[in-house]
Structure 1
Amino acid sequence: MHISANFDAGNIEVISLEDKQDVQLKIRPDFGDEFFQWFNFRLTGEVGEQYVLNIVNAGEASYVEGWNDYQAVASYDRDYWFRLPTTYKDGKLSIEVELECETIQIAYFAPYSYERHQDLLAAVQVHPLVTLEHLGETLDKRDLTLVKVGDGDDSKPNIWITARQHPGETMAEWLIEGLLYSLLDGDNPTGKRLLEKANLYIVPNMNPDGSARGHLRTNAVGTNLNREWESPSLEKSPEVFHVMKKMDETGVDLFYDVHGDEALPYVFLAGSQGTPSYSDRLADLREKFSDALLLASADFQTEFGYEIDAPGQANMTVATNAVAERYDCLANTLEMPFKDNVNLPNKDTGWSPERSIKFGEASLVAMLAVVDELR
């Protein structure tokens, strides 16, 4: 038996391999030791043998409620990801696997590798309406890349989309992949019409350092980027600093920040209702956007989500609130589950890359529904 996490986005520490029915593992915290929940490793063993993998520090994870009704994901070919029998009890997460091939990869959610990120950028840049812009470098000297889609007409509204501020929320970049390919599909009337009416600015991965390091929520120096939007710095949060600098150049008429939620088994929006300048105009736009998402995807719902901030009580360090206030624009955080969507459960895959991709396609419908009213 062998377990390895020495690869892009890998995260696990081996404590003991002595008993295949009690393999003891530990999740490595993000830099700074404040957050951990993401795991991603490969198990090599004997075909037909059963293994029980126990993550012994799961009870100290950032979101312990996220283990309830959670099933780990796994893949033999790193293409199709399925769920494994998983239980949480007495601070220990136990994952059961019977090997069908010698090696299996097991993760918190289906990884979106840095190599796939590069493949996505390379694939979309050949489209005549796409330009890639280097916004700056991260603290680990990785590129922060902006995908600009449109003709740059200043009279059109500017739609900004960001994903993976929290690097372990890989479903966010899966969504971006679906959104981009759908937007650029010449046979997709929704994408074609939206590009006639708007320019889109998309950051597929806001946190490439945290992604490569196997972090859950932070960048290379332990900064939670989604708490940096009030006063970002080159020392702690260059990713946010560079994006806000570019936003100031273009302006923002709609902001869509894509995330995943560890505990809630739903797809939902969190808006900017608690910001000081929230208005009837923004409330009307948010309702139309939400209603369009309900029609575009049966995975979306509005019954469950986060508690809405009281007027003037929003946390202004959070991207959605900061951008809404700075540009007086419609701004939403989209949350998808690490577990399954209990409204439409799939016992084999739970929430998955495929469903994230489809929701990216559906998101374009909601954007088109409001684009004529953004200015």
Structure 2
Amino acid sequence: MKISTQFDAGSIIVKDLSNPSNIRLAIRPDNASEFAQWFYFRLQGAAYTPCIMHFENAAQSAYPAGWEDYQAVASYDRQNWFRVPSRYENGVFTIEHTPLSNSIYYAYFEPYSEEQHLNLLGEAQGSGLCQIDDLGSTIQGRDINLLTIGNQAQSDLKIWVIARQHPGETMTEWFMEGFLSRLLDHQDPTARALLNQATFYVVPNMNPDGAFLGNLRTNAAGANLNREWQNPSLERSPEVHYVREKMHEIGVDMFLDIHGDEIIPYVFVAGTEGVPSYNQRIADLETQFKTAFQQASPDFQDEFGYEKDAPNQANMTMATAYVGHTFQCLAYTLEMPFKDNANLPDDDFGWNGQRSLRLGESILSAILAVCPNLR
């Protein structure tokens, strides 16, 4: 048997591989920080062999509660991913699975590779509706790309959507694939109506270094990008620095920051109740958006989520708080589950790339519903 991780986003520590019924593993922390939760590895030479894989340091991971009621994903071809029997007991996360082929991949969530990311950019540009600009480079020299979709008329609403500040939250780029696919569809009436009144500024992957390195939460310098928005620096967080600079140049009428949550098994949003500029206009916009989103997608709900910040208690280093307050606009963090959506569970696949993609498509209807009131 052999376990390997020398590929895009690969990550695991092998402690003992001598016994298939007691494979001892450890989750590797991010390259420059202590955050640990993401794993992605290839197991070879175990066809038809019952394998029991113990992740011995699961209790020391970033979100130990994330392992409860969670099932890992696996794939033979890296195209079709399915859930495999998993459990969390006494601080150890365990996968029990008998591979049907000699080569199989296991991951924390369905990956979204750098190659897929570049293909996504190419397809968007090929639509004829999208302009791609390079804002700058990451610490490791990868491109920070901004997609501009729309007429860029002075009167247009300026809607910003960013994803994958936390690189292990791969469902967010699947979401972006669906979002962009529908927005760039010439035949879609919702997309056409939106582009008649708004220009979209989209960053499908805020953290390409962290994504390639197999990090859960940080960039190559160990920065959690969603805590860098008040004072980003070129040395530590160029990704946020360049995007924030562009926002100040262009302006923002609506902002969405797309994320995944390790613990909560629902799709939900977190708003800007705690920022100093929060007012009744924003509260009404939030209500209108959530109502429209629930009508557009039964996967979205507003009962479960994070506790709302008390007035003036928001963490202003976070993207949604910073942007919402600075531009006094509707701003939301959207969270999708790593586990499953408990309202619409799927035993075979759980929450996955395709469901994230469909959610990305559906959110256009909610955005269209609030457009008349964004200014």
Range class of TM-score, shorter chain: over 0.9
Which sections of structure 2, spanning at least 5 residues, go unmatched?
A: none
The equivalent residue for 2:118 is 118
Q: Alpha-carbon deviation of 1:47? A: 2.2
- 1:335 & 1:213 partners in 2: Cα distance? 23
Query: What code does the residue aligned with 1:287 have?
Result: T
Give the % identical residues: 54
Deviation string, structure 1 residues 173-206 (Cα, Å, up to 9, x no partner): 0000000001111221111111111000000000
Structure 1 runs of 4+ off > 6 angstroms? none
The equivalent residue for 1:311 is 311
Matches within 5 A, 1:21-100: 21-100=21-100
Deviation string, structure 1 residues 230-286 (Cα, Å, up to 9, x no partner): 111101100000000000111000000000000000000000011000011111111
The equivalent residue for 2:142 is 142
- 1:93 & 1:214 partners in 2: Cα distance? 19
**TM-score, normalising length: structure 2:** 0.99
- 1:77 & 1:196 partners in 2: Cα distance? 41
Q: Report whether the alignment pairs 1:332 with 2:332.
A: yes
Q: Report whether the alignment pairs 1:5 with 2:5.
A: yes
- 2:198 & 2:308 partners in 1: Cα distance? 29
Q: Do the aligned partners of 1:158 and 1:253 also contact (CA within 8 Å) in 2?
A: yes
The equivalent residue for 2:246 is 246
Deviation string, structure 1 residues 209-247 (Cα, Å, up to 9, x no partner): 000000000000100000000111101100000000000
- 1:205 & 1:66 partners in 2: Cα distance? 23
Matches within 5 A, 1:292-307: 292-307=292-307
- 1:192 & 1:54 partners in 2: Cα distance? 50
- 1:338 & 1:278 partners in 2: Cα distance? 30
SS at match of 1:148: strand
The equivalent residue for 1:151 is 151
Q: Do the aligned partners of 1:45 and 1:99 also contact (CA within 8 Å) in 2?
A: no
SS at match of 1:21: helix
Q: Do the aligned partners of 2:178 and 2:361 also contact (CA within 8 Å) in 1?
A: yes
The equivalent residue for 2:233 is 233
Query: What code does the residue aligned with 1:245 have?
Result: E
Matches within 5 A, 1:266-285: 266-285=266-285
Q: Report whether the alignment pairs 1:368 with 2:335.
A: no
Computed over aligned residues only, the root mean square deviation of the Cα atoms, in angstroms, reads 0.7
Q: Do the aligned partners of 2:48 and 2:99 also contact (CA within 8 Å) in 1?
A: yes
Which sections of structure 1, spanning at least 5 residues, go unmatched?
A: none
Count matched residues: 375
- 1:153 & 1:101 partners in 2: Cα distance? 55
Q: Alpha-carbon deviation of 1:31? A: 2.7
Q: Alpha-carbon deviation of 1:100? A: 1.3
Q: Alpha-carbon deviation of 1:32? A: 3.2
- 1:7 & 1:262 partners in 2: Cα distance? 24
Query: What code does the residue aligned with 1:284 have?
Result: D
- 1:32 & 1:201 partners in 2: Cα distance? 30
- 2:198 & 2:245 partners in 1: Cα distance? 20
SS at match of 2:131: strand
- 1:267 & 1:67 partners in 2: Cα distance? 18
SS at match of 2:342: coil
Query: What code does the residue aligned with 1:225 have?
Result: L
The equivalent residue for 1:179 is 179
- 1:27 & 1:92 partners in 2: Cα distance? 11
The farther-off stretch of 24-33 and 2-11 is 24-33
SS at match of 1:226: helix
Q: Alpha-carbon deviation of 1:359? A: 0.2
SS at match of 1:305: coil
Query: What code does the residue aligned with 1:20 have?
Result: P
Deviation string, structure 1 residues 44-84 (Cα, Å, up to 9, x no partner): 12322111111111110000000000000111111111000
- 1:308 & 1:316 partners in 2: Cα distance? 14
- 2:302 & 2:111 partners in 1: Cα distance? 27
- 1:112 & 1:344 partners in 2: Cα distance? 23
Deviation string, structure 1 residues 328-348 (Cα, Å, up to 9, x no partner): 100000000000000000000
- 1:106 & 1:13 partners in 2: Cα distance? 13
The equivalent residue for 1:259 is 259
The farther-off stretch of 96-105 and 206-215 is 96-105
Q: Do the aligned partners of 1:86 and 1:95 also contact (CA within 8 Å) in 2?
A: yes
Q: Alpha-carbon deviation of 1:33? A: 3.4
- 2:16 & 2:313 partners in 1: Cα distance? 48
Q: Do the aligned partners of 1:197 and 1:372 also contact (CA within 8 Å) in 2?
A: no
SS at match of 2:293: helix
